[in-house]
Structure 1
Amino acid sequence: MEAVGSSSGAKYECLLFDMDDTLYPLSSGLNLACRKNIEGFMLQHLNIEESEVPRMCLELYREYGTTMAGLKALGYEFDNDEFHAYVHGKLPYEVLKPDPVLRSLLLSMPQRKIIFTNADKEHAAQVLKRLALEDCFEGVICFETLNPPHQLLPYMDELDGHSPVLPEREGEPETQCFSINSQILCKPSVEAIQAAIRIANVDPNKTIFFDDSPRNIASGKAAGLHTVIIGSSTLVPGADHALSSIHNIKEAMPEIWEGEEGGQVEQVIQSTAVETVVLA
């Protein structure tokens, strides 16, 4: 994909955004509800001892990036779609409300904007719809993008009945991380972030990565990205900026808007921010 609305001389050409607890605050309670559902899945579908579930859930998350990845690494067998349907299917999405302030900020940014989440595409679609941000991003790199059910081949698919799934960068050789037999690929592994960089076809030196996880930020920096920790007023290892809220981005990082003429930027935004597609 060719970058839209930016030239090779621009300081930043792409913005990679984590979604959960980044585009909306941790205080929404969605994170806690998700954890409870994961524990319920472990208890009911994997027959793990009830007294072990909470500790095991947290330890696997810390060691493997997601509890799901940890369960797979330990040898537990379950269907990925069933797991996501159980964990996200009962979430109280109604706690998320449209965010016109963030929407305005995103649409004013001249760079390409892409979601990069460990979650599945259905959850990403639900969250972006509730926040009224679904047309603010060029695409979504999600669980299915990095963990396809078959060897990654150029193909087309549908998201919410209308958005096509775009093939991986044309001419990019397949790598071991996309193998059917590989373990789940997800943040905070540097390999996952490198895969996202390759799929999005971005220059890491001209890309800013926004995430609420210090581990993800450290890996993003190791992959060559400019990094911004969200939800923290102090820098963490690997972070170039720290924002207590995503809403503070214009005050903290005016360079995102530097050198752009408002009319020209608006024209580009209006012509490209039509729908959010899943990148695969």
Structure 2
Amino acid sequence: MLADIDTWVLDLDNTLYPARSALAEQLTHGILSTIAQYYETDLAGARRIQSELVAEYGTSLRGAMVTGTIDPHEFLDFERRIDYSVIGPDPLLATALDALPGRRYVYTNGSAYHADQALSRLGLTDCIDGVFDILAGELIPKPYAESLDAFLQLYDVDPARAAMFDDLEVNLALPHERGMTTVWVTDGTPYEQVAERRWRTADVRTFLATLDV
């Protein structure tokens, strides 16, 4: 299956490592703490504000920039204080990625710094041909068309020959409309096809192991 795919597009957070990991917890706390400081509120207030910003603008950073004057580099500075040692090598995932034909990219709403640190700890750096981060997208995040178009143009990706993995279903709607095969990484069955060129899996490693490529 998916024998026609030659470009593999992978989200990072909650996709290449589990959503329940200590790294995901640190990211959430870092974002909430930054929002709390910027909007002068407590963590409960920050959680409410974050939910509103993400719903309206796609990411907390984009929302804070549109509704305020925060500097994006200042917002992302919390990533420099994250302890990335809480995640370790995933040799089975590395083997599965290495076996894929064609190119493999990380497409993330986080920063390249965060992606580089996480990929290094996971032992996946050599498996990835490039990272497209929020700064490469000129601070416009998934799921906006401007972000997807910038990614496709930068790496000369043919959507009809690309598969995209993401833990947020909303981030996969437009890629699917453009002709990409999509794989929603979420709780549930190890893997299943839910529609033409649409799949769902509980784990990227498990899904890739089923491919005949």
SS at 1:143 equivalent = coil
Q: Scaled by the length of structure 1, what TM-score is found?
A: 0.69
1:213 to 164, 168, 185: 168
- Tell me the distance in 1 between the aligned counterparts of 2:13 and 2:156: 23
Matching residue within 145, 163, 173 for 1:190? 145
- Tell me the residue number matched to 1:56: 49
CA distance in 2, matches of 1:48, 1:236: 44
Please report how far the alpha carbon of residue 71 of structure 1 lies from its aligned counterpart in structure 2 after TM superposition. Answer: 1.0
1:139 aligns with 2:94: no
Of 49, 58, 62, which aligns to 1:65? Answer: 58
State which structure, 1 or 2, has the greater radius of gyration over its C-alpha atoms. Answer: 1
Q: State how far apart, in whole Å, the 2-side matches of 1:221 and 1:238 are.
A: 10
Letter in 1 for 2:206: N
Q: Distance in 1 between matches of 2:157 and 2:73?
A: 29
Deviates more, 1:24-33 or 1:134-143: 24-33
Count of residues in correspondence between the two structures = 207
CA distance in 1, matches of 2:64, 2:175: 24
Q: Gapped runs of 5+ residues in structure 1?
A: 1-9, 148-183, 258-280
Match of 1:249 among 187, 207, 210: 207
Per the alignment, residue 128 of structure 1 pairs with 119
Q: Which moved more, 1:207-216 or 1:60-69?
A: 60-69
> Aligned in 2, Cα 1:202/1:43: closer, same or farther, shift over 3 Å?
same
Do 2:185 and 2:201's aligned partners in 1 also have CA atoms closer than 8 Å? Answer: yes
Q: Supply the distance in 1 between the matched residues of 2:175 and 2:71 (Cα, whole angstroms).
A: 29
Aligned to 1:39: 32
Instruction: Name the Cα RMSD after superposition.
Output: 2.0
1:222-270 C-alpha deviation (Å, 9 max, x unpaired): 232110011333677997111110111234432xx1xxxxxxxxxxxxx
User: Are residues 134 and 55 of structure 1, via their aligned partners in 2, closer, same or farther at CA, if it must alter by over 3 Å?
Assistant: same
TM-score after normalising by structure 2: 0.89
**Match of residue 202 from structure 1:** 157
- Map Cα deviations across residues 52-81 of structure 1 (whole Å, 9 max, x no partner): 32101122122221111111121x112211
Change (3 A) 1:190 1:237: farther
Among candidates 68, 86, 92, match of residue 95 of structure 1: 86
SS of the residue 1:213 aligns to: coil
Q: Residues 139, 62 of structure 1: CA spacing in aligned structure 2 closer, same or farther, 3 A cutoff?
A: same
Deviations 1:129-182 (A, max 9, x none): 0001111111111122111xxxxxxxxxxxxxxxxxxxxxxxxxxxxxxxxxxx
Q: CA deviation at 1:219?
A: 2.3
Paired letter, 1:194: D
Q: 1:99 to 1:23 in 2, by over 3 A?
A: same
